[in-house]
Structures are given as C-alpha cells and as structure tokens.
Amino acid sequence: FDGDGHTISELYINRSGEKIVGLFGYVDDDGTVENIGLEDVSVEGNDFVGGLVGWNNAGTVSGADATGSVEGSNRIGGLVGHNLGGDMSESYATGSVDGSDRVGGLVGSTFGSSDVNGSYATGSVEGADSYVGGLVGYNYGDVEDSYATGEVSGGDNVGGLVGLNHDDGDVSRSYS
C-alpha cells in the first residue's frame, strides 16, 4: 500500500476483545505500507495493536506516521504493535499509548531481524506491567538513528528509549 503522501483523519477502531488490530491488522513478508499519515486516531484492541499496523510479519513500514491514541494489553505501539523481522524506517508516532506489557511509543515489540531506523516517538507511554519504552517496549532487533521524547511510566523494565533491550538487540546512534 502506497498512501502517496495522503492523510487519513479520525480513524476509530474499537475492538477491545480482539487481537491483531490496526488500520492494517497484519502485514506479511511481501507487504509494504508506505507514505501514509494517520491523524487523530483512536485505536483499541487486546494484543498486537498499533495505530497503523497490528502485526508486521517481515514486511516494510516506511514514511508513515500516526497521531492520536492507541490502547490495548500486550504488544501495543503508537504505529506498530509487533514487528517480527520487519523493517521500519523514516516513521513516527506522536500520540499516547497505553497498555500492560511490551508497550512502546512507536512499536510495542521487535523480534528477529527487525530494524527500526530513522524514526521517533514523542507521545506519552504508559504500561501497567513491564517492558515499557518511549520508542520500543521490548527490543530484540536493531534500533538506529532514532529517538523518543515522551513521558514514560510503567512497572518493570521501563526506559525513555527502550524498555528492555534483549542480548541480541542492538541500539545505536539513538537517544531519549
């Protein structure tokens, strides 16, 4: 999907009992979502919830942004809930994110050979339990040239940029 620089305003999704929720619930390994803006979103789900993508399974998210609020339980992100081996670049989220576990301003969790590059988050992030980060809640991938500036609060493993950076995760040239 190429949004060609267009913006979608006031997207409202309320699926509090469902998993894999976002404008695009699931993006597979040959999928690309790029050049799209979301303004004043309100997205609510259970697990794997993002303003733009709930679960990015080795796909590409590039030149995308979201403002508004995203809420859920586990693997909740302002732009992407769960990034499994996918590439995210030149993207940002500025809204509030609220969840329980693996909650991030941009992406809730990254696994595998996931990359987050040249991206940022500036909204508030709140996690009731653990792995809460201004940019990424739980990082098992690579984060480069990115930053977060929002207020972050939670239980265990809370960080301004990354809540928990796994031993196989790498963070470089990034700050909060």
Structural tokens at position 140: 């098992």
pLDDT of residue 92: 98
In a 10 Å sphere around its CB, with 0-12 CB exposed, 13-18 middle and 19+ buried, how is residue 60 labelled?
middle
**pLDDT tens for each residue of 102-154:** 999 999 999 988 999 999 999 999 999 999 999 999 999 999 999 999 999 99
8 A C-beta contact, residue 106 and residue 120: yes
pLDDT of residue 94: 97
Structural tokens at position 90: 């030149």
Structural tokens at position 24: 């695009």
8 A C-beta contact, residue 50 and residue 76: yes
Q: Can you tell me the mean pLDDT for 12-17?
A: 97
Q: Can you tell me the mean pLDDT for 86-98?
A: 98
8 A C-beta contact, residue 160 and residue 133: yes
- Parallel, antiparallel or unpaired: strands 96-99 and 74-77: unpaired
pLDDT of residue 143: 98
Mean pLDDT of the chain: 97
Q: Can you tell me the mean pLDDT for 36-59?
A: 98
Q: What is the CA radius of gyration of the chain?
A: 13
Q: Which amino acid is at 143?
A: V
pLDDT of residue 44: 98
Q: Cα 162 from chain centroid?
A: 12
Q: Can you tell me the mean pLDDT for 8-13?
A: 98
The rounded distance, in Å, linking the Cα atoms of 117 and 115 is 6
